[in-house]
Amino acid sequence: MPQIKKLKIGVIGTGKIAHVAHLPVLASLPDVEISAILSARYEDALCAAAQYGAKKACATLDEFLSEELDCAVLLTPKTVRKQYLVPLLENKLDVLCEKPLAMTMQECEYLAEQSAKSGRIVMVAFNRRFAPCNAKAISAFADKKPHLVVAQKCREFKEYRATLENAIHMVDLMRHFLGECDRVEAFSSFTDPFYEELCTAQMHFENGSLGLLGASRQAGQWYEHVELYGDGKTAVVDNLDSCRIIYPDHEEGITMTPLHQGWCDTVTRLGFKPCVEHFIDCVRTRKTPITSAEDAYRTHELMNRILQSAGLPDLSREWGDHR
């Protein structure tokens, strides 16, 4: 068989998400070469390049763009997405961008429009869609939609703009499961609206299905739980580790932990590896990613409606650093 040409990938950003997820995945793929890494601190780029076998550490964006690259993975803070994504597109690079796409609806819309005009592959890394247990749950419904989805993403500590930062994964999952939403009613609890303790939302979707969102910041530990109901069955996903499909007369399902002799890694369980692999496949085949920038804009738009209904700071403008 002819050998597949390695894709030359550049990575911008060396924060936690880079080291926990994207760089280990990219370094493990046989058909990928990490050709360049750029960081706000050159020393961090040097360390990451040495750790993950990248060919070059870059000190500036111009230096990064001068490298021979096929595509890029953009992992910068969300407040500076625009200043990197636009030059990458202008240099005809396909891009995998961490979520959220931007911090305002105006910028999200602009970046989605620029992505569409560029003709490049632009994908936003909503990795929960690619988690094997979530994929197993929705596949049980085949071409039918659940009539109810309950999604919870709770943690044990407050965080700046927690609903936007974390619950957006659940909002994106509901769109993936149910389609577009036409009505939202949301509530929140907070002393400081930038550090909310609780947000809930009920969503009515165009197909008649309902979605319930729960996001507490006073949980005992991190807990992620999704339930899908309808068509005579129930699908339950617990912490992305197990999926049970419950029928009137039996159950079936999967548990991730025992896979690979008990070494099922986090990047697979949480969907990071299949997310990156989907991006690579789209770059090679030129098909549209399921989490394209245009699709991600619709997730941000629904998130914005939830924030507005809940009385939390929305995406109408950048709010500055309240941390």
Q: What pLDDT score does 3 carry?
A: 61
Q: Does residue 278 share a domain with residue 174?
A: yes
Same structural domain for residues 153 and 300? yes
Give the DSSP letter string of 36-50: EEE-SSHHHHHHHHH
Percent of the chain with pLDDT over 90: 86
Nearest Cα residue to 181 out of 210, 146, 152: 210
Q: Which residues does residue 37 pair with via DSSP β-bridges, in sequence order?
A: 11, 57
Judge whether 319 lies within some domain.
no
Asked whether residue 66 falls in the same domain as residue 166, the answer is no
**CB-based burial of residue 293 (10 Å sphere; 0-12 exposed, 13-18 middle, 19+ buried)?**
buried
* pLDDT, position 262: 64
Question: In this structure, which amino acid lies at residue 144?
Answer: K
Are 101 and 200 members of one domain?
A: no
Give the Cβ contact number of residue 278 at 10 Å: 21
Residue 135 placed within a domain: yes
Average pLDDT over residues 123-127: 96
In a shared domain, residues 188 and 250: yes
The answer to whether 97 and 108 have CB atoms below 8 angstroms apart is: no
What pLDDT shows up at residue 1? 47
**Residue ranges making up the domain that contains 65:** 7-126
**Per-residue pLDDT at 300 exceeds 90:** yes
In this structure, the number of other CB atoms found within 10 A of the CB of residue 261 comes to 6
- What was the pLDDT predicted at 151? 98
Angle at Cα 90 formed by Cα 87 and Cα 95, nearest 5°? 70
Least confident residue range of 69-73, 108-112, 265-269, 286-290: 265-269
DSSP bridge partners of 242? 238, 255
Residues 154, 63 within the same domain: no
Does 143 share its domain with 253?
Answer: yes
Task: Report the sign of the C-alpha dihedral through residues 280, 286, 289, 290, in that order.
Answer: negative
3-state SS track over 82-113: HHHHHHHHHCCCEEEECCCCCCCHHHHHHHHH
Going by C-alpha positions, the residue among 39, 19, 15 that lies closest to residue 27 is 19
Out of 126, 161, 189, pick the residue that ends a domain: 126
| Mean pLDDT value across the chain | 93
Domain-embedded: residue 227: yes
For 239-261, what is each residue's pLDDT tens digit? Answer: 999 999 999 999 999 898 877 66
Which parts of the chain are beta strand (E)? 7-12, 32-38, 57-58, 71-74, 94-97, 122-124, 148-154, 181-189, 198-205, 210-216, 223-230, 233-238, 242-246, 251-255
On whether both 195 and 148 belong to a single domain, the answer is yes
| Contact by Cβ (8 Å): 74, 93 | no
What would the two tokens of residue 46 be?
A: 């040097």
Indicate whether 275 belongs to any domain: yes
- Give residue 317's pLDDT: 78
196 and 75 in a single domain? The answer is no
* Segment 150-204, tens digit of pLDDT: 999 999 999 999 999 889 999 999 999 999 999 999 999 999 999 999 999 999 9
Q: What is the CATH number of the domain that holds 153?
A: 3.30.360.10
pLDDT tens per residue across span 20-36: 999 999 999 999 999 99
Question: Where among 108, 126, 144 does a domain terminate?
Answer: 126
Query: Is residue 122 located within the same domain as residue 132?
Result: no
The one-letter code for the residue type at 198 is L
User: How many domains does one find in the chain?
Assistant: 2
pTM of the model: 0.93
Residue for token pair 């036409």 = 182
Is residue 144 in some structural domain? yes
pLDDT over 70 (residue 323)? no
State how far the Cα of 73 lies from the Cα of 159, in Å rounded to an integer. 25
**Above 70 in pLDDT, residue 2?**
no
